[in-house]
Structure 1
Amino acid sequence: MTRVLVAPDKFKGSLTAAEVADALADGLVAGAPSWVIDRVPVADGGDGTVAAAVAAGWTPVPVDTTGPTGLPVTSFYAVRESTAVVELASAVGLVLLPGGAPDPLGASTFGLGTVVRHALDGGAREIIVGLGGSASTDGGAGLLQALGVRVLDADGRDVAPGGAALRHAARVDVTGLHPAARAAHFRLACDVDNPLLGPSGATAVYAGQKGAAAGQLVVLEDAMTRWAQVVRAATGRDDSRAAGAGAAGGAAFGAISVLGADIRPGIDTVLGLVDFRGRLAAADLVITGEGSLDEQSLHGKAPIGVATEARRAGIPVLAVCGRNQLSDTQLHRSGISAAYALADLEPDLYRSIRHAAELLRRIGRTIAAPSDELATLSTRGES
């Protein structure tokens, strides 16, 4: 009896991680009915993080909040005992921009803070925040304002939402910070080491991806510089150069400086949430994957994290993907014996996306037969 742990990330724009796992499992069982399949969808700390926790048995909690531009949205977080998993992308992410239109100067993380406040009010005292997919560059100011922190201008008025308004920040008042936030432990799941400021900072590296033009980049860098100064004055600490402080448009900076948050790699955090190591102990084969296996995958993405853990346990790993741009050498160095791409079955991108589940079922059947496939794969790439 072969026991297979199916642990994919989403195929962005096509299937959720759970849908990928289901399609693969269907194909595997069709090809080898005796195989036992354990499905554990994963994520890298961005969108899909809460869904991965829920698939692993955590309880979903809906909450009404506001999106990156202040419009109402409904988000979800996951809870288990006194721990909550919150996902920035599902509250104030790029995917929630109305009509997909960016608002680089005005987008805010306030809605994320509303979700965190809801979790704190519900009794959570450890808050895990997946930081991927941010639509804003506000240094975490909105997150903190939703938790009771006031950001004031020179006339003592609250500054407006969004990163650009922070150019007018004169003082940060933390006396109104939610009492439970003072006692809670915050953990940030992210995979970047950028500081808040400078040529490798939140604005210079990421704001352009959120729609900021050249002149707006100057505005945002000035705003983040001012924000760092007033936060330092209020807290007595300067985290603007800390590795990872620039994550999610600097949301990490605000959480580190005011909430005392620490940072861990996204995939490592998610694997802990879903008890991946415990489930790995019962597996003979692991299948992971994501929409595109490429150079970016090698830097903290879910399939490589899954493969790294499996390799430590001596368990062979296969990957599935929409397209594969990694060489065999790169795959093997990452602990992946072989990769199966939808593009190999359906070169047309539109049709591949549209029929991804059907193609994954075909790949599952291919992996499951012939019966000696596992023995063959387990010897590949060992040198």
Structure 2
Amino acid sequence: MKFLFASDSFKGTLSSDQTIELLNKAVREVFGECETDGVPVADGGEGTTEAVVKARHGEIVNVDVHGPLMETEHAFYGKLSDKEAILEMAAASGLPMVPEDKRNPLNTTTYGTGELLKAALDEGYTDIAIAIGGSATNDGGMGFARALGIRFIDEDGKELEGKGSDLVKVRHIDVTGLDPAVKNAHFTVMCDVTNPLCGPDGATYTFGKQKGGTPEILDELESGMKNYRDVIIKEFGINPDEIQGTGAAGGLGAALKVFLKAEMKSGIDTVLDLIDFDGRLKGVDLVVTGEGRTDWQSCFGKVMQGIGDRSKNHQVPVAALCGSLGPDYEKIYEHGISSIMTTVDGPMPLKDALDNAEDLYYKGAVRMFRFIKAGMTLSAG
């Protein structure tokens, strides 16, 4: 019997790699020696670069960039082959980089993410995947584009810095200085949101509050974003509000689509393609996946949904081991997940569950494999 282990991380407690180690230990306790394979996975958010690099036996490349407040940050991207690279904006422009008392999307920029991409382009990579979850920004991607050579000009002919408060000041966008390497590269953007750039479902009103935006700040940013949109329409003949995903990452999606002609793709699907998950399913009898909490959101671009759908297409059953279950968790059964078990083995405070996550996960894995072994016995009978 061959098992494939592919679980998401349990945020704040267990990494994807740790779940693989614990599952390997547990399956051998129950089944003895058996064939296993394990691959770290992520859904396009924080940790995606490291998971894909490990799965592909790639290399982490460290780069110094400017953070969301233009402070110096140590970021990184992943080298996957001579042509392929992967990066995540959370490493350069992520929300955790901004102290809570300084969170104000009028002041943050995606400039560092642009620097990170430029570093990869300078090394000659031409097939680049970009994960854009977890941003601290709402600048429409201006900072990102500026790092690649695009200039945003105000009414006095001066170049803007490219932060949220500059959106309302844009009068002209000069793309003549765009890094020429962009034309020879293909960009895949890991994006699971379909929000437009502006409007009640746009970048500002949907995501701005969690980045420190008060109602007054959000109104100011929305006015600026509409101005930015109108300049793009006037100068490029493209309306970002008519393109799904342009509101992602505070409008970075718009810059990626308009200036880089990037392809928007589901985060988990991109990751599974990059690690050749379908190829790994050959000869597998059972896949084990999981995540920290499973609920209705798990069906929308998350690891379990992606793993389940791919496995279902290859007629391979999937069992899940999760930290907890939330509202409508059972909807995940529609995506190829055959069974779910939780790691907790009794009522307990959340802190106790987090503090003992490794032990609980291991014991839960043993219980799960015992059930699987019992099922095999029934089937044989």
Shift of 1:326: 5.1
C-alpha distance after superposition, 1:177-230 (max 9, x if no partner)? 111012211111111111101111111111112121111111111111111122
Mapped partners of 1:254, 1:371: distance in 2: 49
Compared CA separation, residues 374 and 139, structure 1 to 2 (3 A): farther
Compared CA separation, residues 168 and 58, structure 1 to 2 (3 A): same
Shift of 1:169: 1.0
C-alpha distance after superposition, 1:306-332 (max 9, x if no partner)? 011111111111112221125574232
Mapped partners of 2:58, 2:8: distance in 1: 18
Shift of 1:345: 4.6
Q: What does residue 308 of structure 1 align with?
A: 309
Partner SS for 2:73: strand
Amino acid at match of 1:227: Y
Equivalent pairs: percent with the same residue?
Answer: 37
C-alpha distance after superposition, 1:58-77 (max 9, x if no partner)? 22211111221222221221
Mapped partners of 2:321, 2:192: distance in 1: 22
Q: What does residue 95 of structure 1 align with?
A: 96
Shift of 1:238: 2.1
Compared CA separation, residues 272 and 325, structure 1 to 2 (3 A): same
The question of whether the paired residues in 2 share the 8 Å contact of 1:324 and 1:339 is answered with no
Mapped partners of 2:187, 2:144: distance in 1: 13
C-alpha distance after superposition, 1:264-285 (max 9, x if no partner)? 1111000001110000113111
Q: What does residue 122 of structure 1 align with?
A: 123
C-alpha distance after superposition, 1:94-119 (max 9, x if no partner)? 12223574222111111100110000
Mapped partners of 2:325, 2:23: distance in 1: 17
Q: What does residue 149 of structure 1 align with?
A: 150
Q: For structure 1, which segment, 39-48 or 269-278, has the greater mean C-alpha deviation from structure 2 after superposition?
A: 39-48
Partner SS for 1:225: helix
Shift of 1:374: 5.6
* TM, length-normalised to structure 1: 0.93
Partner SS for 1:64: strand
Matched residue count: 378
Q: What does residue 20 of structure 2 align with?
A: 21
Q: What does residue 106 of structure 1 align with?
A: 107
C-alpha distance after superposition, 1:35-58 (max 9, x if no partner)? 222111111111121012111112
Mapped partners of 1:297, 1:355: distance in 2: 24
Q: What does residue 251 of structure 2 align with?
A: 250
Q: 5 Å matches for 1:56-75?
A: 56=55, 57-75=57-75
The question of whether the paired residues in 2 share the 8 Å contact of 1:128 and 1:187 is answered with yes
Q: Which consecutive unaligned segments of at least 5 residues does structure 2 have? A: none
Compared CA separation, residues 169 and 327, structure 1 to 2 (3 A): closer
Q: What does residue 274 of structure 2 align with?
A: 273
Q: What does residue 161 of structure 2 align with?
A: 160
- Does residue 175 (structure 1) correspond to residue 169 (structure 2)? The answer is no
Q: What does residue 35 of structure 2 align with?
A: 36
Amino acid at match of 1:290: E
Q: For structure 1, which segment, 21-30 or 223-232, has the greater mean C-alpha deviation from structure 2 after superposition?
A: 21-30
Mapped partners of 1:378, 1:302: distance in 2: 29
- Does residue 7 (structure 1) correspond to residue 19 (structure 2)? The answer is no
Amino acid at match of 1:189: M
Partner SS for 2:159: coil
Q: For structure 1, which segment, 317-326 or 140-149, has the greater mean C-alpha deviation from structure 2 after superposition?
A: 317-326
The question of whether the paired residues in 2 share the 8 Å contact of 1:187 and 1:262 is answered with yes
The question of whether the paired residues in 1 share the 8 Å contact of 2:128 and 2:186 is answered with yes
Q: What does residue 50 of structure 1 align with?
A: 49
Q: What does residue 342 of structure 1 align with?
A: 343
Partner SS for 2:187: strand
The question of whether the paired residues in 1 share the 8 Å contact of 2:322 and 2:341 is answered with yes
- Does residue 241 (structure 1) correspond to residue 263 (structure 2)? The answer is no
Mapped partners of 2:378, 2:259: distance in 1: 49
Compared CA separation, residues 284 and 240, structure 1 to 2 (3 A): same
Shift of 1:290: 1.3
Mapped partners of 1:237, 1:174: distance in 2: 15
- Does residue 293 (structure 1) correspond to residue 294 (structure 2)? The answer is yes
Amino acid at match of 2:22: A
* TM, length-normalised to structure 2: 0.94
What's the Cα RMSD here?
Answer: 2.0
Mapped partners of 2:265, 2:38: distance in 1: 24
The question of whether the paired residues in 2 share the 8 Å contact of 1:5 and 1:287 is answered with yes
Q: 5 Å matches for 1:195-234?
A: 195-234=196-235
Mapped partners of 2:67, 2:379: distance in 1: 46
Q: For structure 1, which segment, 318-327 or 68-77, has the greater mean C-alpha deviation from structure 2 after superposition?
A: 318-327
Amino acid at match of 1:187: T
The question of whether the paired residues in 2 share the 8 Å contact of 1:328 and 1:338 is answered with no
Q: What does residue 260 of structure 1 align with?
A: 261
Amino acid at match of 1:176: G
Compared CA separation, residues 355 and 153, structure 1 to 2 (3 A): same
The question of whether the paired residues in 2 share the 8 Å contact of 1:235 and 1:258 is answered with no
The question of whether the paired residues in 2 share the 8 Å contact of 1:345 and 1:359 is answered with no
Compared CA separation, residues 300 and 100, structure 1 to 2 (3 A): farther
